[in-house]
Amino acid sequence: MIPDHDALDWGVVAIFVTVYLGMILGGLPRLKLDRAGVALLGAIGVIGLGEMSSAQAASAVDLPTILLLFSFMVLSAQLGMSGFYVAVTQWLVALPLRRNGLLAALIAVAAALSAVFSNDIVCLAMTPVVARLCLQRRLDPVPFLVGLACAANIGSAATLIGNPQNMLIGSVLQLPFGAYVRQALPPVLLSLAVLWAWLVWGPQARSHLLPTDVPVPGDVELRAAPAYDAWQTGKGLVVAAALLLVFLFTDWPREVAALVGAGVLLLSRRFHSSRVMGLVDWNVLVLFMGLFVVNHAFESTGLAAQAVAWLGAQGVHLADPGPLFVAGVGLSNLLSNVPAVMLLLPHLQGMQAGVTLALVSTLAGNLLLVGSIANLIVVDLAQRSGVTIDWRAHARIGIPVTLATLGIVWFWLRWGV
């Protein structure tokens, strides 16, 4: 018996709704599934229904995005294993700077590293060192740590390789790397300045010293950090610099160039490939592939196109700056930025829409504690160092900074470019 097509469509809709409910909740109730597991299960369900063949599911995955993500995960793993991130952080915290100068240096370094490497990796490496430094200097570590997460998120918006959603936007919309940087860099720099100003002059800066009886935590995380290896660090930085030059000045496909760079790094006499592969975030890759399949199946029902057409008839066009801005902020905080971007991308085209979505979806991650993985990484590692950051402490910095930075982006996109 041939399955009824309408029944298949409603089956796809049910899977789509379930998957995105999982994106909202971070999993499914009573099941040991995270977002990646939910997305994978959704893709399996779509194929199992017969709505897509396995070949069609494979073709629904945007391979250039997956290859680019994988390649930069290998690059970040190389630099992490060589001790580069920890060495940079230790150099930073050793600078003879007072509180405000140290905050400026921390924001600048975190943002610069996140623009080229993964913002999550930067937060993972820097958080324990920054927490310990603050406690040793009797400084309140919360502004420094929340500032680290915010700076990493803001800095990652400066390029098309700074975070997964920007890689996806750049790949699907075929955005020129250099042109994107020229448009994104000014609002990013202004946003970093706003972050610093709020940390220096905001309400949380009034009592920035800790009581003398607050203990300094142990060195467990620092002792476990890899020793600095100048040769392996140099190798990773040379590959990163070469890739940036390729992206800026050639038409070589970014995913191909990045894959070649990853291949060069895997040719190592020091780091076993299994160790490098063990640091690749396979969960993120599975999340992307699962959502590609589920979204493609949902689009094939025609319901998404009908919904967009209905909105257009009401005068709401997703490609317009205002609706896209609101949708990007709302969905990024409701679903997380990667699923939000995947939902909106099929209805967008052009440079301006791509820049808007990349900036808005990334900066919106600073609004709430659960808005980005970088925030959660910082909170978790801070807890291990004896520093508690709850949602209120984050909100006192994250909400005003996000509103101000989104205002900067809105002004820049309307009148600056």
- pLDDT of res. 10: 84
Using 50 as the pLDDT threshold, list the residues of the chain that sit under it.
Answer: 1-2, 219-221
**Residue 15 contacts by C-beta under 8 Å, 6 or more apart in sequence?**
42, 45, 46, 49, 294, 297
DSSP for residue 139 = B
Burial class (CB in 10 A: 0-12, 13-18, 19+), 13: middle
The three-class DSSP label of residue 209 is: strand
Q: Where are the alpha helices (DSSP H) in 26-53?
A: 35-49
The three-class DSSP label of residue 159 is: coil
Measured at the alpha carbon of residue 310, what is the angle toward residues 304 and 312, in degrees to the nearest 5?
Answer: 105
Segment 304-323, tens digit of pLDDT: 888 888 888 888 888 888 88
- pLDDT of res. 89: 85
Distance, in Å, from the CA atom of 245 to the CA atom of 76, rounded to the nearest integer, reads 18
- pLDDT of res. 417: 57
Tokens of 264: 């060069």
- pLDDT of res. 220: 44
Strand partners, 139: 209
H or E element that contains 401: helix 391-411
